[in-house]
Structure 1
């Protein structure tokens, strides 16, 4: 019997060797060198996570908290290191979408077969 988790771990290791991952890592390392930009980035991430947790727990999102997130977003959108990071995140997301489609193909095919 195959241990699919071994395959997943192998895939995770291979993913780290892709150009998309290497570019993302480099962009993130460059952002960390910008103390102000990195600080704002971390604040944005923390606020975003806080709001996502509230939402997932069925809590209403406080308009002031949403406004603070938007203000942080406005502050970080013009920082070059963050722009670069976002571009590299998008390339990584595209790769992950392609990999996800490949992994999910057997399930998609299964359901299509049952329609016939």
Structure 2
């Protein structure tokens, strides 16, 4: 029987060699060179994480909380290094979705009665 964790660890290593991963890494490195854009990006990530934690703990967040996240998002949408990073994230995400479909196929087959 195959050790699925060995396969997963190998897949993680293989992921690092893909063009999508390399493009994402390069875009993130370029973002970090722009101090203003990187600081804004970090603020957005921090606020997003705070709201997610509140939601996971069953807490309601206020309209002001949501508005501040939206305001940060609006500021980020016109910054080229952030736009580039988001585009590369989307490309990698598409590949990850495809991989998830492949990995999940045996489970799907069970429910199809195959």
TM-score interval, smaller chain:
over 0.9
TM-score, length-scaled by structure 2: 0.97
Structure 1 stretches of 5 or more lacking a match? none
TM-score, length-scaled by structure 1: 0.95
Counterpart check, 1:41 vs 2:46 = no
Counterpart check, 1:110 vs 2:110 = yes
The CA deviation at 1:2 is 2.2
Task: Kindly tell me the number of residue pairs found equivalent between the two proteins.
Answer: 114
Residues 80-106 of structure 1 show CA distances to partners (whole Å, capped at 9, x for unaligned) of 000000100000000000000000000
How do 1:1-116 residues align onto structure 2 when only pairs under 5 Å count?
1-113=1-113
* Further displaced range: 59-68 or 82-91: 59-68
RMSD between aligned residues: 0.9
- Alpha-carbon distance in 1 for matches of 2:67, 2:31: 24
* Further displaced range: 24-33 or 61-70: 61-70
